[in-house]
Amino acid sequence: MKTLLHMCCAPCANQCIEVLQTDGIEVTGFWYNPNIHPFTEYRARRNCLREYTESIGLHLLEQDEYALRPFVREVAADIAGRCVKCYEMRLFSAAKTAKEGGFDSFTSSLFISPYQNHDLMRETAERAAKEFGVDFLYRDFRPYFRAGQEKARELGMYIQKYCGCVFSEEERYLKPSRRID
């Protein structure tokens, strides 16, 4: 089975890749993350992922566009509910790329994060699969989250401190223990 794995970053992707390959699945990586801002953060995550996939010999497809304006246009009407738009942008693009590339299925390293809305991501991926006529390969990778973070530290990977969008970064600093008045 050939699966396109949408990847948000190398620390999240490393265990997803291992699990899928252990299951006998042929994995190709896919980078498309218009939500990641600012540009320095986008570049750091993309470059780390490029280096990692190259080091393990994994093919990486890239839809490499820093898309601040399109992302903000999509989420501006409902900042608090922005995650669904973010998931749609990335998972629908992954499904489309999987279909056009002749893959059997697609999935995402987002499913490793205990901080994401898992049910909403799954529902979004299922809608994308239906729209593009390609299978969504569901895996709950969350049990591997800590191992992925440990491996990332061992390999000296860049590890981010927030989900990716500028609004999640803002929320990180607005927590009571990190107020920046």
Peptide bond into 38 cis (omega under 30): yes
Instruction: Please tell me the pTM assigned to this model.
Output: 0.90
Instruction: Examine the pLDDT at 169 and tell me if it is beyond 70.
Output: no
Q: What are the E-state strand segments in 35-77? A: 60-62
At 44 the three-state DSSP class reads helix
CA atoms of 105 and 150, how far apart (whole Å): 28
Give tens-digit pLDDT for 9-60: 999 999 999 999 999 999 999 999 999 888 999 999 999 999 999 999 999 9
Burial class (CB in 10 A: 0-12, 13-18, 19+), 115: exposed
At 91 the three-state DSSP class reads helix
Those residues whose C-beta lies under 8 Å from the C-beta of residue 141, and which sit 6 or more positions away, are 15, 16, 19, 109, 111, 112
Instruction: Give the pLDDT of residue 67.
Output: 86
